[in-house]
Amino acid sequence: MSNWPGKFVIGLTGNIATGKSVVRRMFEHLGAYTIDADALTHRAYAKGAPGYQQVVDKFGKWLINKDGEIDRSKLGNLVFSDSEAMGELEAIVHPLVRQASEMLIKRATQRVIVIEAIKLLEGDLRKICDSIWVTNAPEVIQVERLIRKRGLTRDRALERIHMQSAQSAKVALANIVITNTGSYDDLWKQVNAAWKEIVPGASGPDTESQIKIKPAAVSGEFSVRRGKPKNSADIAELITRLSKGKRKMTADNVMEAFGEKAYMLLQLDGKIVGLAGWQVENLVARTSDIFLEETINPQKALETLINEVERASGELQSEASLIFPMNDLAAQEELWKRLGYEKRTPETLGVQAWQDAAAESLSAESALFFKQLRQDRVLRPI
């Protein structure tokens, strides 16, 4: 019987470079509500949050940087070299992360909730899960991913892998094991099969929910639907063409991108005429790819796309929406203002999680536009 009447909570874990976050994102594409518990850990000791003063009192004011935040690098260097210190930090943040996770689960409207955590099995989060799922990958593939994606040397990659508890121990405790050998098609099939197993009558990854809006001054009807793996070739062609070759994409590139983001496809009379690449991480919605056909009304097109991004972000309990338009769209401040956004810089956003998300996605070619979606925040300043 579930710990949560009417809901089913999956605890998702696995060692470094086994694909936890990719699998979590795939469940999100299928309709689950997902929680990144490791990101909540950082929020727990952000400036003003419940764990901030406890961490400072335990480890010292030398951790505080010029902005008044706890320097994660200094804290990490301390606890990763001292198991006792790590235990003391976990004793502070783990209860807060559990409280925040329980709050998110209670507020979620989705039937299935997925909690991703690297130390799921070592802490209290395990107790609120109905089922434990583990991502698994051969060590040779873990090493290759760390070299390719994080720029580590082979020796450093092996060191990072061996610092963690044995993957075999996690697999032994799993209710479900997802084997990630590098094929996105195979991974999708495993996740989709698992989804159907836990959600009787659930739709597969090709099911498309759709919202339709009738804008003025446009013949025909705009609609927005969420892109699926079967749309990969169309998405790749559209981005390559509308970026005038600056972003050359293949169907395989798009399939890989599905492990990080979703694509909202804008249609006019059944034809794809634009898209928005969008993701929610750490309760922050980020829209980093916006492409529109030059022949359509940009105001109505953006209104349709962004309204759907905000609706979907609201379902994922996002606190803020950050948009990073480029080129001509970046210059149209009045257009964004009509949609409720204001041009900002990362350091003016006030909340550390929002600042971090903005700094990570902002590029030299893009601008940042901000809109707060909700006033109540998880682990908000006290």
Where do the structural domains in the chain lie, given as residue ranges?
8-198, 210-372
123 token code pair: 């802490």
Q: What share of the chain is helix, strand, coil (3-state, %, to 5)?
A: 45, 20, 35
What average pLDDT score do residues 122-146 get?
A: 94
pLDDT of residue 382: 37
What does the pLDDT read at residue 104? 96
pLDDT at 123 over 90: no
| pLDDT grade for 163, boundaries at 50, 70 and 90 | confident
pLDDT surpassing 70 at residue 259: yes
Position 205 pLDDT exceeds 60: no
Judge whether residue 219 has pLDDT over 80.
no
Which two three-digit tokens encode residue 138?
């051969």
Fold of 8-198: Rossmann fold (3.40.50)
- Beta carbons of 177 and 200 less than 8 angstroms apart: no
How much is the CA Rg of the chain, to the nearest whole Å?
A: 21
Tell me, what's the pLDDT at 111? 93
| pLDDT attached to residue 4 | 87
Q: Domain 210-372 classified CATH 3.40.630.30? A: yes
Contacts of 89 by beta carbon, 8 Å cutoff, 6+ apart: 55, 58, 59, 75, 79
Residues 6+ apart with CB under 8 A from 382: 48, 49, 50
Contact 97, 125 (CB under 8 A): yes
Nearest CA among 313, 366, 317 for reference residue 340: 313
The pLDDT > 70 percentage for the chain reads 93
- Which has the closest alpha carbon to 358: 376, 372, 374, 375? 372
> DSSP per residue over 271-306, as a string?
EEEEEEEEEEETTEEEEEEEEE-TTS-HHHHHHHHH
Element (H, E) at 151: none
Element (H, E) at 221: none
State which H helix or E strand residue 264 sits in: strand 262-268
Asked if pLDDT for residue 260 goes beyond 60, the answer is: yes
Determine the Cα–Cα distance for residues 272 and 57; give it in Å rounded to an integer: 55
* pLDDT on residue 380: 66
> What does the pLDDT look like over 267-285, one tens digit per residue?
998 899 999 999 999 999 9
Smallest CA-to-CA distance from 369 within 358, 377, 380, 381 is with 358
Q: How confident is the model at residue 202 (pLDDT cuts 50, 70, 90)?
A: low
The whole-angstrom separation of Cα 108 and Cα 175 is 23
Instruction: With a cut of 60, say whether residue 203 has pLDDT above it.
Output: no
pLDDT digits (tens, 9 = 90+) for 311-370: 999 999 999 999 999 988 999 999 999 999 999 999 999 898 999 999 999 999 999 999
Q: What does the mean pLDDT of the chain come to?
A: 90
> Is pLDDT at 17 greater than 60 in this prediction?
yes
